[in-house]
Structure 1
C-alpha cells in the first residue's frame, strides 16, 4: 500500500512518499520518513519490507559517505544510481532486498535527474516516476499534466492534485512527506492535504 512519487520540475526534483508502515491490515506507524537524504543534493525514496528498506538505505548511505571521505568528492546522481543498482543486483543473488527505489538529485553540470529502480535492480532514467499501487492511478495523471518546466509552485500544486486523486480513487490514504532537491540543496516542504 506504499506510495512513492517524484518528478522533475524546472529547478529541481519534487519527491513525495507516504508516511505509513503497514503489516497486512494493521497500520503500525504513520510518521515514517521514507525519503533518505544521501547528501546535500541527493534523495533516496524507498518502499518495501520495513527491515529491508531500513537496512539497505543505511548500507547505501554509509558507503556513499565512506566514498566521499576517502576520495574528497561526492558522486553524481547517475553514478549513485548505478552504484545502488549494482549493490541491489549483487544482493539479488545472495540475500535479496525487497525494496523499490526512486533516486532524485541535482548536479551542477547536468541539472535535475530522477532514476527509477525496482527490487530486481532494473534502472531507468525518467522525468516522473511512481512506485506502489498509486502508480495505477497517478501515471496517467502525470502523463497528462507533467512538464519539465513547471515552477516550484506548479509542482507542489501537481503533488496536491495527485494526492487528491489518491484520496478519491484509492481505498488507503494517509499522511505524506514532501521533499525538494535543487541546486540550493534538499529541504522538507510542509505538505498537508485539505
Structure 2
C-alpha cells in the first residue's frame, strides 16, 4: 500500500506547480527540444517554407527512410525538433483529425483549427497524473481561405503562436538572430528557401548537402477540376534532392 501511495504522490507532484510557479516537467521537455536538430519556418508573401537538418544516428542507418518534414493533409505540412517517437504519435493524431474533418465537411481544416487541436492534446499531457509532456516542438505550415499562408509553432506546454519566421532546436538562438536580420515582409518564396538554407548552414557541423537537408513548401498552386471550373489549390510538398541540389 505504501509503495502504491508513494508512486501516486510522485505522479501527482509532476503535474503540479512548484512554489516558484513553474512546471518543472515542461522545462525538461523544452530541454529535450533544445537537444534536437535545428528546424525553422519562414512565411513568404504567398507561401510558407519549413526546413530542418537531417542527421542519421549512425552511418549504417539508411537515411532514405528518415522523414522530419511530413505531410498532414494536402494543405498542411509539419516539421519538429525533439523526440522523434513523440512526433510520430502527434503526426498520426493530426492526420486522423484532418481526415475526420474532411469526411464531415468535405474540406480540410483551417491551419489554426488543426493547430488548436494539436495544442490541446499537448496541453492535456501536462496535467494528467503519470503522463509526461511531449518532448517535441512543432512548426506547422498551412494555406487556407481564411488566413492564406500561415506558420504556427506549438510547444510542449500546449502554447502556440503564429509566426512570420521562427526556429527551434539545438541552434535556435543563433538561427532566430539570423532570421531577424534577413527577414522582410515582402520576402518571396525563392528568397525564403534561400534564407532557410543559409540559416541552417550557419550552425551546421560539417557540409550541408541535399542529403542532410529537408525542405517543405506550400503556396504553389496546382489545378484541380472542380465542377466545370478550374480552381487553384495550394498543395504542400517536400522538395526533392535534385531540387535542393539545384
Tell me which interval the TM-score lies in, with the shorter structure as reference length.
0.7 to 0.9
Aligned to 2:202: 165
Aligned to 2:52: 17
Question: By percentage of residues, which structure has more strand?
Answer: 1
Q: Is the 8 A contact 2:69 2:238 kept in 1?
A: no
After superposition, the C-alpha distances for 1:91-124 in whole angstroms (9 at most, x for unaligned) are 2333332111011111123211111111111111
Q: Is the 8 A contact 2:48 2:149 kept in 1?
A: yes
Superposition TM-score, scaled by structure 1 size:
0.86
Q: Is the 8 A contact 2:52 2:200 kept in 1?
A: no
Aligned to 1:4: 39
Q: Is the 8 A contact 1:116 1:123 kept in 2?
A: yes
TM alignment of 1:1-194, pairs within 5 A: 1-20=36-55, 22=57, 29=61, 30-31=63-64, 32-94=66-128, 95=131, 96-167=133-204, 170=205, 175-182=212-219, 184=221, 185-189=235-239, 190-192=243-245
CA drift of 1:182 comes to 0.9
CA drift of 1:27 comes to 6.8
Superposition TM-score, scaled by structure 2 size:
0.69
Q: Give RMSD over aligned pairs.
A: 2.3
Query: In structure 1, how many angstroms separate the alpha carbons of the residues matched to 2:219 and 2:119?
Result: 23
Q: Which has the higher contact order (CA 8 A, sep 6+)?
A: 1
Q: Is the 8 A contact 2:111 2:141 kept in 1?
A: yes
Greater Cα shift, 134-143 or 59-68: 59-68
Query: In structure 2, how many angstroms separate the alpha carbons of the residues matched to 1:102 and 1:180?
Result: 12
Q: Is the 8 A contact 1:106 1:183 kept in 2?
A: no
Question: Gaps spanning 5+ residues in structure 1: where?
Answer: none
After the TM superposition, which parts of structure 1 deviate over 3 Å for at least 4 consecutive aligned residues?
26-31, 170-174
Question: Gaps spanning 5+ residues in structure 2: where?
Answer: 1-35, 222-234
